[in-house]
A and B are shown apart, each in its own frame.
Chain A
Amino acid sequence: MTETTLAKSLTSGLRAAMENDPKVILCGEDIGKLGGVFRITEGLQKDFGEDRVMDSPLAEAGIVGTAIGLALRGYRPVVEIQFDGFVYPAFDHIVSQVAKMPSRSGSRIHLPMVIRIPVGGGIGAVEHHSESNEAYFTHTAGLRVVSPSTPHDGYWMIQEAIATDDPVIFYEPKRRYWDKGEIGDAPDLGLHDARVCREGTDATVLAYGPMVKTCLQAAEAAAEEGTSVEVVDLRSLSPLDLDTITGSVEKTGRCIVVHEAPVFGGLGAEIAAEVQARCFYHLESPVLRVGGYDVPYPPSRLEEEFLPDLDRVLDAVDRSLAY
């Protein structure tokens, strides 16, 4: 067991995947010599060569479009989108081609590709660098969508995503890149399993990606006031591990979904709908959602007010308990 950052765990995971399978190739803007703007691919071009770690022209539609072709040719492309807000030029290829081609072919075609996207806010960036656009992709049949929140999951989930024969959108919570944790010797869960990362009895908080840490901190603070909050890290956004989710909610009777993305039409809506349908008789209060406001991600000087934080999570826990 070693302590490492989420960023480094992803680098190690990519390296392991490339060592295990010569068909794994990487493509993206500035991922070669620079190692990517977040250095996730640092050292990989040096060790695996320019043939397997390709600096792409500055064109996201091209990155994903050519990844489709490479996958058709038997490769397992892992592409990097530099920031969440720059995936949109590739949206057409992801939604109209990547997501649909396998089913259109009657499973004759597999597109085993991973689209890595650093996601979310909280880093004081300029416009388009802080978005949470997962709902566009979870709403798209044909895509799997996952997000690790710890180095352990980063290391194992990137390898599992690469090994999956379906296309995977892989969200990396960028403000947690530098958070440290230990990597276990083996993956203890499947790629699409949720993790109960803190047990509790009074309310269930469901979160993923960057919000997991926030919710764990909130649970810690709640405990000091005598409230026992269970925190579930969804890990997989599509498909959802509804068994783990309902298991927790049936136990606590209260459910709060937390994400950075705006609430309206967000993934929280899908989860809330499923929870109320499956846990109706166990619920002591309505399922609540905590998320970003329904506005464009604001300038960085306002992001603290936009992003759910410990207080907003606790506020929702209180409202749920007071119902």
Chain B
Amino acid sequence: MSETDAPGLPEPQDLRAVSASEGLELLMAPQRAVHDGGPEMIQLLTPEGQRVPSSRLDAIVDELTDEELRGFYRDLVLIRRVDAEATALQRQGELGIWASLLGQEAAQVGSGRALRPQDYAFPTYREHGVAWCRGLDPLNLLGLFRGVTHGGWDPNEHNFHLYTIVIGAQTLHATGYAMGVAKDGDVGTGDPDRDMAVIAYFGDGATSQGDVSESFGFAGVHNAPIVFFCQNNQWAISEPNYRQTRVPLYKRASGFGFPGLRVDGNDVLAVYAVTHLALDHARSGQGPVLVEAFTYRMGAHTTSDDPTKYRVSAEVEVWKHRDPILRFKAWLAHEGKADGEFFDQVDREAEQLATRVREGCLAMPDPAGTEMFDHVYVEPHPLIDKERAEFLAYHASFEEAHS
């Protein structure tokens, strides 16, 4: 196994950011083919579960306790199980649709666990693993896909914003939030409980949206404390990467004057370490970082999608060998950090969680019809009041007719 630590901190850019960003001087991995993520991809665990040393990142990983590492494994397994249950519930008509995170667990758990409580995350619609790390009950997510709510949780309770379906929009919201954080002086104080960063999740397809480029521009100009976390799962519904971009996505950052890195998104240790570094960079007042997590959407885009129409199963097979859970499990076992009993116990816990999620989903009541009028405005609104009254009267007329 070769040393992966060559200087990798992206060129250029803002000199101030570069000189101050020692911590991001990541090292290059051994040569890899581009479809494997290329030589620039940072990896700490091979698909076989072998540890690749990194002078820059080892310290971060070494700080993790065995319990925390086992916790990562538990996160990965539980969220995959919840995801499978949600898919099954959709098939049974209990959810309108489900966007599976299968294959992207490490990208989400690694980055989600790198967040501090005060950090703030802005997800797309697929960040079930991040939601889990932020302490959301998975049932909150199911409610949205079941169609009982467009929201489903209090964003400020978990510092986890609502899911955003309009592609790319949340990257601007996250940037604005980060600009506010900077204005409040909650960066660069050195107080680990005060300094905070914002993380914006988005997909490879989203990078084509103007909103995403604009958010890079704003974040750069304002030196906002934000980590742009792109899960490059290779597909935007039916469109492969080359329909969206001619350059590797992490390289986009350099044009906006901040560092961009590509990490093996199926390697939970590398994702954790790189995101940890990037968040520290942002929290310490050095501005934005783009992290491209190179991963794969193992399932369909959503339960409505049929990927056999546009991609070959051989590709999926290749990625099966890069499974994020298998490699981490192999490493944990090899290092003696976890044993069979632990793995079995996590499996049992996953089954229990799946049962609870299923039962909770089936028990989820439909909202009352009047709820659609309830939160449109904060202050009273005459048209809403009139229509709510009409709605009630109309439905009452049926009850009268039937009684």
Interface residues of A (CB under 8 A from B): 29-30, 32-35, 37, 55-59, 61-62, 85-86, 88-89, 124-128, 264, 293-296, 298-303, 305-306, 311-312, 315
Contacts and interface: CB of A to CB of B under 8 A. Distances in A.
Contact of A293 (B97, B244, B366, B387): B387
A57 B208 contact: yes
Contacts of A301: 146-148, 366-367
Given A125-B97, A294-B387, A302-B369, A61 B210 contact: yes
A127 B165 contact: yes
Nearest to B239: A55
10 contacts: A33-B310, A37-B304, A56-B243, A89-B166, A126-B144, A293-B373, A298-B372, A299-B144, A299-B147, A312-B394
B150 interface: yes
A58 B398 CA distance: 46
A58 B150 contact: no
A86 B147 contact: no
A35 B144 contact: no
B342 interface: no
Contacts of B373: 293, 295
Nearest to A34: B238
A296 B376 contact: yes
A29 B244 CA distance: 11
Contacts of B238: 30, 32-34, 55
Interface residues of B, number: 43
Nearest to B207: A58
Contacts of B245: 57
B315 to A, nearest CB: 14
Contacts of A306: 372
B210 A34 contact: no
Given A294-B376, A301-B148, A315-B394, 8 more contacts: A33-B309, A33-B310, A34-B237, A34-B309, A34-B310, A57-B244, A128-B165, A306-B372
Interface string B366-392: 110101110010000001100100010
Contacts of B237: 29-30, 34, 37
B145 interface: yes
A56 B237 CA distance: 12
A302 B387 contact: no
B351 interface: no
Contacts of B369: 302, 305
Nearest to B386: A294
Contacts of A264: 383
A127 B99 CA distance: 14
A300 B150 CA distance: 9
B111 to A, nearest CB: 22
Contact of B243 (A55, A88, A300): A55
B319 to A, nearest CB: 19
